[in-house]
Amino acid sequence: MKKLMLILVLIAVFGLATFTQATKAIAATPNGGVTSPITYFMLSGQVTYKYLTYVFVAKNVTVTATNYQTNAKTATVTDANGNYSISVTQGQYTVKPHDSRGTVFTPASRFVSVINNSISGLNFQGAYKR
């Protein structure tokens, strides 16, 4: 019984300490209030290669979204179907694909403004080199 009481007291003390630290972290925001949750949006599309009249998916191509204001970069790699999606916050971004072979993609990059919604259809096509 004494062990059970000791365990309950320890849980209460450590739980209160954790709650106090969390409260201090929230209260320490620059504007003195509670911060708003960060909302993320998706930038997505497909990357393909073209060789003569053939078009095929471009898997394992790196696609990077660069924030215009902060220059922060978020990157992902296309899946087996050439599809990609990048999670970003509101802002203006340049989206650009690149691969290890130095493929020239069309368009070379896309500039988008993310305000309150995700943006799809950001597709790129590369001239396939043999």
Q: Answer whether 60's CB lies under 8 Å from 99's CB.
A: yes
Report the run of H or E that residue 127 belongs to, with start and end.
Answer: strand 124-127
Cα separation, 111 vs 30, whole angstroms: 31
* Percentage of the chain exceeding pLDDT 70: 72
pTM, entire model: 0.71
pLDDT at residue number 23:
34
* Percentage of the chain exceeding pLDDT 90: 68
Of residues 77 and 27, more confidence is placed in: 77
| Average of per-residue pLDDT across 104-126 | 97
pLDDT at residue number 12:
52
**Residue 84's closest CA among 55, 60, 50, 54?**
60
> pLDDT tens for residues 12-69?
544 434 333 333 334 445 555 667 788 999 999 999 999 999 999 999 999 999 999 9
pLDDT at residue number 68:
96
Q: pLDDT-based confidence at 81, cuts 50/70/90?
A: very high
